[in-house]
Amino acid sequence: MAYEENFEKCYKTKAGIVDSTLLFTKRYTLNPLTFLMDKEECNVRRDNMKKFYYSLLQNLTLDEAFFMQDTFGNQWHNKFYLQKLKHNTDVSKYLEENLQAIKERINILEQIPKEERLHFSSLPYFLTTKDETIKTYQRVLKNGNLFPKDFFRYDNGRKAGIVTYYMCNNLMELKPRKAFEEVTKKDFNEYKLNDMLKLCFDNSPKLALRGAYPESIYPGLYFKELQNTQIKDNGGLSHLINSIDEIFSQK
């Protein structure tokens, strides 16, 4: 019973960032065998968790820290599950290696309404980072495997945009304008993104490219399209001329 009580103190909660993928995860029941963990190791890891928490606070902005508190409560640091943070781990190095991923996940969650954050934070792959998404895609290309089930769900095409951009920029080596002009369904099929195109973009390369090259970052790609739309909206003589051209072209 002593081991169990001590373990409960050291591992009070397990809903948090998982070490292997740094995802926020649901609570789960611990395997009874883990209660055999050495008491000293448990205490050392608890101390490392404290060091990690205070070091993390120094590297988060006030807005990021407040966001975590607002989302997960005052004891939000207890929501971290960091399996690799063992007694022989350099806490500073560990934080340095994972800080960018933690900040990226906070940014992803910030786009979600407050009342839905806990739910979405528990969904598999929802908080997968850009780097992890690319590595997953590289494994699909190398081994011929499928993407994990539900990999592209729930995030409004965020990961789909990442892999589409990687295909165009890194694999096909196309500039953004060329990608908009040349990429077809055939390319998505060749680079193992055919199923993603169907699931996320209704089989439309154009929609997929919009996800990979959003207008907020690449406004120049949309200028010509906007200009053409304005001309059509103006109607008048240009519309009449186009109609006459169509009539004569049919004869």
Domain boundaries along the sequence of the chain: 2-121, 130-218
Q: Which range, of 79-88, 138-147, 161-170, averages the lowest pLDDT?
A: 79-88
How far apart are alpha carbons 22 and 16 in whole angstroms? 8
Percent of the chain with pLDDT over 90: 43
Q: Alpha carbon 223 to chain centroid distance?
A: 28
What integer pLDDT is reported at residue 83 of this predicted model?
62
Q: Compute the half-sphere exposure of residue 244: CA atoms within 13 Å on the CB side of its CA.
A: 6
Q: Which pLDDT tens digit goes with each residue over 115-124?
A: 999 899 888 8
Band (pLDDT 50/70/90 cuts) for residue 239 is: very low
pLDDT mean over 67-82? 78
What integer pLDDT is reported at residue 2 of this predicted model?
39
Q: Which pLDDT tens digit goes with each residue over 201-214?
A: 999 999 999 999 99
